[in-house]
Amino acid sequence: MIVQEQVCLKDKHSFHLNVSARYWAEYQTTDELREVLQDKRFAKLPVLPLGGGCNLLFTQDFPGLIIKSAISSLEVVHENEEEVLLRAGSGLDWDQFVETCVSQAWGGIENLSGIPGLTGASPIQNIGAYGVEAKDVIQAVEVFDRQTLDSLVLPVEECGLAYRNSRFKQEWKDRYIVCYISYRLNKKPAYRLDYGNLKEALISKGGLQQGPEAHHGNLSLIRRAVLDIRSSKLPDPDVLGNAGSFFKNPELETAAFALLAERFPELPHWELPNNKVKLSAAWMIEYCGWKGKSSGRAGVYPKQALVLVNLGAARGEEIYGLYKQIAADVFSTFGIRLQAEVVIL
């Protein structure tokens, strides 16, 4: 395995900022991962596991070692008439993985089409879109333990997958590195079409067909509809650097929400279990006048206010400064502290 020094990260993360890493290594096996983690040169340096770099904001050069998974195997572990169990390496491109599954008529992740990044991020971030989350299909996660230098399998129930969150992002951040993910997918129709305008988008494409033989065509149609909706709202990171939603949609207790709704009756919201309500951060940001605005070379995407963009040669601090200004305005208007969804380094 080759370890490179002073590596430019511009094309290795989706904000495309001009930052560098002191060391960079890509591993194809867990043995290679063990080898690099045991290397004395890096013993005292910070280590950052990176996937597609699609959920990160670098505010400065990275002073340590970045390790990137290039484990790209995909195996069918078990299969019957109803479902298939897959074991995917953490270095597979997520959307190519979705495309492969759709082409095999394996359902469950078609709503997650078009999400940038690698499969390895799916349990860490519990990626989600259009009413589906990674936790709905992940069965287990195989990780490499940086303390014991061994692999172990964690059932998904132990991983604390929640809205854009998991134990991998919290207390396990410096301990476990995701190497393989097991996904359980459907061979029979079980579509999730209730989010937003997905149903209408499908109807405009001719609608879903009935019968088991229509399954493959239906999955392709859903994938196409999701890709179309995404491209109408979200910028292509290779054209305009970004990290998807920069903010999380905040959650409030029902009682606190009722008071807020008296002042802002139009605020879009979704009821959650346990007396909670999720609010649209995009709407609040737009209400504060930020949609389409910029500060220096950092901007708010004109079609989706949750997305901060690099307008060209932005520095990480500029994006960070914009995030702080928006969060301060939302707090003074709504009394709500928005949290960043992206990891800020």
- Which residues of this protein are in contact with ligand EPU, per CB under 6 A? 129-130, 195-196, 233-234, 244-245, 248-249, 268, 280, 282-283, 286, 291, 304-306, 341
Say if residues 164 and 125 touch (Cβ distance below 8 Å): yes
Please name which of 33, 47, 13, 52 lies closest in space to residue 174, comparing C-alpha atoms: 47
Q: Is the CB of 46 or the CB of 268 nearer to ligand EPU?
A: 268
Which residues are CB-contacts of 340 (< 8 A; sequence separation ≥ 6)? 57, 246, 247, 248, 323
Q: For this structure, is 341 an active site residue?
A: yes
Residue with the CB atom nearest ligand EPU in the bound state: 244
d(CA 281, CA 329): 12
Say if residues 50 and 12 touch (Cβ distance below 8 Å): yes
**Residue 258: CB minimum distance to ligand EPU, A:** 19
- Tokens for 1? 């395995």
Q: Determine which one of 20, 113, 142, 164 is catalytic.
A: 164
Q: Is the CB of 286 or the CB of 317 nearer to ligand EPU?
A: 286
- Tokens for 222? 């859903």
**Residue 85: CB minimum distance to ligand EPU, A:** 26
Q: Is the CB of 72 or the CB of 165 nearer to ligand EPU?
A: 165
**Residue 4: CB minimum distance to ligand EPU, A:** 29
**Residue 344: CB minimum distance to ligand EPU, A:** 15
Alpha helices (H) in the chain, listed in sequence order: 30-38, 94-103, 121-125, 198-203, 215-233, 254-263, 281-287, 316-334
Enclosing H/E stretch for 178: strand 176-186
Q: Determine which one of 223, 245, 295, 318 is catalytic.
A: 245
Q: For this structure, is 245 an active site residue?
A: yes
Q: Is the CB of 21 or the CB of 137 nearer to ligand EPU?
A: 137
Q: Is the CB of 21 or the CB of 285 nearer to ligand EPU?
A: 285
d(CA 159, CA 181): 12
R_g of the chain computed on alpha carbons: 21
Compute the Cα dihedral for 11, 17, 23, 28 and give only its sign.
negative
**Residue 272: CB minimum distance to ligand EPU, A:** 13
Q: Determine which one of 133, 142, 318, 341 is catalytic.
A: 341
Please name which of 83, 77, 117, 123 lies closest in space to residue 98, comparing C-alpha atoms: 117
Please name which of 184, 185, 188, 220 lies closest in space to residue 205, comparing C-alpha atoms: 220
**Residue 6: CB minimum distance to ligand EPU, A:** 30
Q: Is the CB of 143 or the CB of 306 nearer to ligand EPU?
A: 306
Burial annotation 329-343 (CB, 10 A radius, 16+ → b, else e): bbeeebebebebbbe
Name the residues annotated as catalytic.
164, 245, 341
